[in-house]
Amino acid sequence: MPEADAQAIDGVESAFSLGGESALKDAYDVHGSLIYTFCRRFLGEDHAGSATRDVFVEAWRDRAQFDPSLASLGAWLMSIARGRVVDSLSRIRSDDRVGVDAGTESAVVQVGDRMLLADALGRLTGPSRTIVELAFVDGLTRGEIADRTSLPLATVTGEIDRGSVHLRRALVTASS
């Protein structure tokens, strides 16, 4: 991830935790699409907008609980969205007298994790993204990546290490 992009996201996270003037809008600009897509996946087009809005309202109300040193804002928002989706599914299914089973709840968590990972991977750019994809998606060794990309092994190792930290942070929530 370019340094400027990482700093911008860090700035959004810090401003959000402090309740900065444009923090909610900035957080929505960075993460709104991810949260909306996740909600739409489980709740459909009719309920996704209101669920997304509810996630951001809840996050803003509880922003004092967000600690950017413990979790990324995207992961924290996704944890709120997961709860919101499960609650919504429970309400919808209770009308039909069918509860949310463990399999459905597990699917909500798994889809959320995959979407966070894809979002984090998408925020990596250039050689960083290529190297991380070769390592974690294609399963190549560091030596194989160095050969394929004609980059020094030390460069490949550094990019994989930085990419691992970036991806791990994207998935860690404050509750983990």
Higher per-residue pLDDT: 69 or 152: 152
How many structural domains is the chain composed of?
1
**Most confident listed range (7-16, 33-42, 70-79, 166-175):** 33-42
Q: What is the span of the domain harbouring residue 146?
A: 3-171
Q: How far apart are CA 20 and CA 131, in angstroms?
A: 36
Question: Is residue 9 a part of any domain in this protein?
Answer: yes
Position 116 scores a pLDDT of: 86
Question: Is residue 69 a part of any domain in this protein?
Answer: yes
Query: pLDDT band at 142, cuts 50/70/90?
Result: very high
Question: Is residue 98 a part of any domain in this protein?
Answer: yes
Q: How many residues are given for the chain?
A: 176
Position 96 scores a pLDDT of: 56
Question: Is residue 103 a part of any domain in this protein?
Answer: yes
Q: How far apart are CA 165 and CA 120, in angstroms?
A: 11
Question: Is residue 167 a part of any domain in this protein?
Answer: yes
Position 18 scores a pLDDT of: 84
pLDDT at 7 over 60: no
What's this model's pTM, rounded to 2 decimal places? 0.74
Question: Is residue 176 a part of any domain in this protein?
Answer: no
State how far the alpha carbon of 55 is from the alpha carbons of 59, 67, 161, in Å. Answer: 6, 17, 32
Per-residue pLDDT of 111-133, as tens digits, reads: 888 888 888 888 888 888 999 99
State how far the alpha carbon of 79 is from the alpha carbons of 108, 109, 127, 142, in Å. Answer: 10, 9, 30, 33
User: What's the rounded mean pLDDT across residues 16-31?
Assistant: 89
CATH number for 98: 1.10.10.10
